[in-house]
Amino acid sequence: MPHVYVEDLARYAGQEVLIQGWLYNKRSSGKVRFVLVRDGTGIVQGVVTPDTDPQSFELAERLPQESSLRLWGVVRPDPRAPGGYEILVRKIEPIHIPKEPFPIGLKEHGVGFLMDHRHLWIRMRKQVPILRIRDAVFWAIRAFFKERGFVATEAPIIVGTAVEGTTTLFPLDYFGEPAYLSQSGQLYLEATCMALGRVYWIGPCFRAEKSKTRRHLTEFWMAEAEAAFLDHEGNLRLQEDLVRYIVEYVVAERNRELAELGRDPEVLLGEVRDPFVRITYREAIEIIRSHGVPINYGDDFGAPAEDALSAHFGRPVFVERYPKEIKPFYMKRDPQDPSVVLNADLIAPEGYGEIIGGSQRVDTEEELLAQLREANLPLEPYKWYIDLRKWGSVPHSGFGLGVERTVAWIAGVDHIRETIPFPRMLDRLYP
């Protein structure tokens, strides 16, 4: 008799199978008892009748929530059951019966309580499909870059230099030397792309930004790519192709999970079907103002500004050519207008904010030295980065995609804390 996962039950209709999992919920109707069993791939309803093994019939009544068990029975279609199939139970065998009630009942709980019990909350009905969608996003990113000929590589997490500004660094004592948790792998990917041509990595980043918004984590995951001989326009095309690929992949691989979350796949596909909107920073300022959001030229975009752009277009929008004063030192200036840089931020639809930041990088030693000095950054820690412009420098570009924000948009999740198994936020280090 095969051990079958819930997600594969459709292939075993009419057959007796073994399910191994945890008791999610139970109820009774007359002489029939129903047990909902989850196994990580889905939830199935087991139907326990007086014809079932007497001991199993009694267990169906007294087993508490989150008991682990084995369940044998015949798979049969039922459109009313979760997933469209249920199991006519022959036997239940407990593996572990909890001695205390499960802390998270099938009722509403406060966010603080749920976050304190995140190690248990991730078992619940909504959290499982979110994390399975996250898995699909990772696979989509890897598949996309492999198809495009990019080489998977790594960047260090302990670094000696800042990437996105010195005010959001987590400092470390590295055997007596100052060091930091990485804000981004970008600078190192620039070095690696000069050896391998096209590279990417998916890894954790750390930013000590004191924000409590629904879009911010202090530890998050980025998918970053760098490519030699890639200009600003090619960089935007690559980003657009990646985002469209991710959405199409998730819809194909996690359609059931999207349905469980009430997410309409056609809405997602519709948002990425047409070419993404492209506007300049200056144009964006005017659109934001037209939505009643106060903003001045030279201001960076906060959530209200991004929401205004999201509402205005209803699909992903690239905002490009920001003023140089509000962007990092490594971005190349626009030759036609040196007051702006060859960069773009991609704003997701439906109010999910920026999901990608990218740019063409400075590619001459003279420009880089001037821009480091302009940013009041010391040259010594960046000596190795300057070296990249001394020997065989070429035009090159790259970007970073925030995994959690992308998952939040695709899954339709209100707060980014639910898109990673154990979120780290300004006020959250436990569990």
Q: In angstroms, how far is CA 258 from the centroid of its own chain?
A: 15
Longest dimension (CA), the chain: 83
The span from the CA of 422 to the CA of 261, in Å, is 20
- How far, CA to CA in Å, does 226 sit from each of 190, 235, 426? 6, 9, 30
Q: Give the torsion sign (CA, 287, 288, 291, 292).
A: negative
Please state the three-class secondary structure of 162-185 as a single string. Answer: CCCCHHHCEEEEECCEEEEECCCC
8 A C-beta contact, residue 333 and residue 364: no
**If residue 119 lies in a helix (H) or strand (E), which one and from where to where?**
helix 118-121
Domains parsed from the chain with CATH numbers: 6-96 (2.40.50.140), 120-419 (3.30.930.10)
Q: Give the torsion sign (CA, 321, 323, 326, 327).
A: positive
Q: pLDDT tens string for the chain (431 positions)?
A: 789 999 999 999 999 999 999 999 999 999 999 999 999 999 999 999 999 999 999 999 999 999 999 999 999 999 988 889 999 999 999 999 999 999 999 889 999 999 999 999 999 999 999 999 999 999 999 999 999 999 999 999 999 988 887 778 999 999 999 999 999 999 999 999 999 999 999 999 999 999 889 999 999 999 999 999 999 999 999 999 999 999 999 999 999 999 999 999 999 999 999 999 999 999 999 999 999 999 999 999 999 999 999 999 999 999 999 999 999 999 999 999 999 999 999 999 999 999 999 999 999 999 999 999 999 999 999 999 999 999 999 999 999 999 999 999 999 999 999 999 999 999 999 99
Backbone angles phi, psi at 137, to 5 degrees: -60, -45
Q: In angstroms, how far is CA 421 from the centroid of its own chain?
A: 11
Question: Which has the closest alpha carbon to 134: 409, 347, 357?
Answer: 409
Q: Catalogue the E-assigned strands of 16-118.
A: 16-29, 32-38, 43-48, 68-77, 85-96
The four Cα atoms 271, 272, 278, 283 give a dihedral, to 10 degrees, of: 10
303-313 vs 281-290: helix axis angle to the nearest 10?
90
Token pair belonging to 18: 């073994």
Backbone angles phi, psi at 323, to 5 degrees: -60, 140
